Amino acid sequence: MNPHHEPDSGDGFRRPDLESSRSERYSSRMSVPTLSNVVDGRAVPSRADAGIDLIDPATEEVYARAPISTAEEIDEAYRAADRAFAHWGRTTPAERQLALFRLADAVAERAEEFADLESQDTGKPRATLVADEIDQSVDQLRFFAGAARDLDGRSAGEYLAGHTSYVRREPIGVIGQVTPWNYPLNMAVWKIAPAIAAGNTVVLKPSDTTPLSTLRLAEVAAEFLPAGVLNVVMGDRSTGAALLQHPTPQMVAITGSVRAGMEVAKSAASDLKRVHLELGGKAPAIVFADADPEKVAEGLVLAGYFNGGQDCTAATRVIVHESVHDAVVEALAARARSHGRTGAPGEEGILYGALNNAGQLERVSGIVDRLPAHADIVTGGRRQGERGYFYEATIVTGMRQDDEAVQEEIFGPVLTVQTFRDEAEALALANGVRYALAASVWTNDHARAMRLSRDLDFGCVWINTHIPFVSDMPHGGFKHSGYGKDLSHYGFEDYTRLKHVMTYLGE
C-alpha cells in the first residue's frame, strides 16, 4: 500500500476531549496545537522535546504538531496493553462483539467529524469522504464484530484411542502495528478491528503526517473498550522501528514499503515474532482487443487516479493489445482530461486531491522527469500550480518492461501503457515485476479471463473492473507485496493462534 507507507488551524480540532489535552508547546514556525498520544484509555501529552509539523497538503500550511514519542512512552503504552490483555484476552466473543458494534455505531454517528479530520490530514476531496472511506470503516468494524463469534475449529474427537482431542483458537497477545498515510482511518481499522475482535490488545503508530483520525478513533474507542486495549503513539520512522522491535508484542503488523517490510521481518526474526506485512503494489490492467475502450477508460481512470494513485492496488500499468492500443489510449486520455481533475478539498468536480506530502510530490515528479526518450507523455506530466502538492493526471505510452516507471511503484496519478501481441506475452509482462498485490483483466472471453485469473501471480485479480473492496474478501499479496491477509475471515484468523488440547479418558 512504498515510500508512502513508511513509519518514515485550530478550527480543524472541534473536539472537546482533544482540546483539553493539548500541550502549550509551539511549532517553531507558528502557534499550533500539539497533539497527545492515547494510552491506557486517555489522552496523554508527550514528554518528548522533538516533534513533527503537520502540513496541509493543499496549502502547505502547518496546522498542528505531533510528538516524536520517546522510548519510555512506547514502554508505557506496551505496559498498558500487557495489563489489559490479562483481562481482554479472557472476555467472551459476545463482549468483544458488542464493544466493536458500539464503536462502529459511534464512528457512524461522527462520520462528518471523521471526514473533516481525514480531509485536513490528507487533502482528499471532502465531498466524497463519508461514502468512500468513513462508511467503509464502519462496515469493516461491523464485519469483525460479527467475526468475533464465528471462529471455526475441528470437532472434538478421538483421534488416538482412549484420548479426546480438541483445538482452541486463542488470541496471540499484545500486537504492535504501524499504519500508512494514504488511508489513515481505513488502515487503522484494518489493523485494530481483527486484532481486538480476536481478544488481542494493540499499540499502534499512525503515519507521522496523518495521525488525526486515528487519535480520534482511539478516543472514541475508549468509551467502549477497557483501558489499555487500544493505545496510539505518534512519531516518525524511528518511533515505528522502536515500536516494532520492542520485546513485548508477540506479533507485529505493518502496511508500508518493501524496504520497511524487510527491516521488520529481519528484526522480528531475532525475537521470533509473528509478522504481517502489507507492502507495495504495481497493478497491471490487461486489456484485450474485445474489450470496450470507453468502458476500459471509465474503469481505469477511476482505478488509476482515485486518491491520486496513492493506493497499493491502483491500476498503474495498462497492458493493451497492439491492435487496440490507439483507441484505448485515446479513450484514456479523453477520460483523464474530463474526469481526472485534481484540486483543493472543497472544490467541486474533482476526482482526487493533493499528494500527501512534499516528499511524495518529489518522488512522482522525479520518476516522470526521468522518463526515457522512447516514452511519450500523452497528457499531464507536471505539477499543478505552485502551492499545494498537486500533480496532474498523467498517461505515458511507449514504455518498455525494464523502465523505472514500469518496475518501480510511483504511488501517484500516473498510468503507463505497454502493448502485447498474444496472451502469453501479456501474462509475462504483467507478472514481470517484483510486486504481486493486485491485477485486472479486461475481456469478454470468459475462458480467457479464467486462464488469466489462474496464472496472474497476484493476491487479487479483478475481471472487467479494478479496485472495488468488500470486507468479506481477503486483501494481501505475494512476492515483494508481503504476506498475511487484511479483511475477511482470513484476516481475522491471522490474529489468532491454535492450541491442541488432549485428554486421557482413563480407559
Which residue numbers are catalytic? 278, 312
DSSP 8-state symbol, 295: H
DSSP collapsed to 3 states, 426-442: HHHHHHCCCEECEEEEE
416 close to 259: Cβ distance less than 8 angstroms: no
Beta carbons of 208 and 66 less than 8 angstroms apart: yes
Contact 106, 223 (CB under 8 A): yes
E strand or H helix that includes residue 184: helix 184-197
Q: SS in 3 state form for 125-176?
A: CHHHHHHHHHHHHHHHHHHHHHHCCCCCCCCCEEEECCEEEEEEEEECCEEE
Q: Give whole-number Cα distances, 268 to 273, 355, 394, in Å.
A: 5, 32, 39
Query: Do the beta carbons of residue 164 and residue 157 sit within 8 Å?
Result: yes
* C-alpha to C-alpha distances, 147 to 94, 100, 254, nearest whole angstrom: 10, 11, 22
Helix (H, G, I), strand (E, B) or coil at 245: helix
Which residues touch 217 (CB under 8 Å, ≥6 apart)? 107, 114, 185, 188, 189, 192, 232
**What secondary structure letter does DSSP report for 3?**
G
- Using CA atoms, how far apart are residues 485 and 150, in angstroms rounded to an integer? 17
DSSP percent split of the chain into helix, strand, coil, nearest 5: 40, 20, 40
Answer for the pair 488, 267: CB distance below 8 angstroms, yes or no. Answer: no
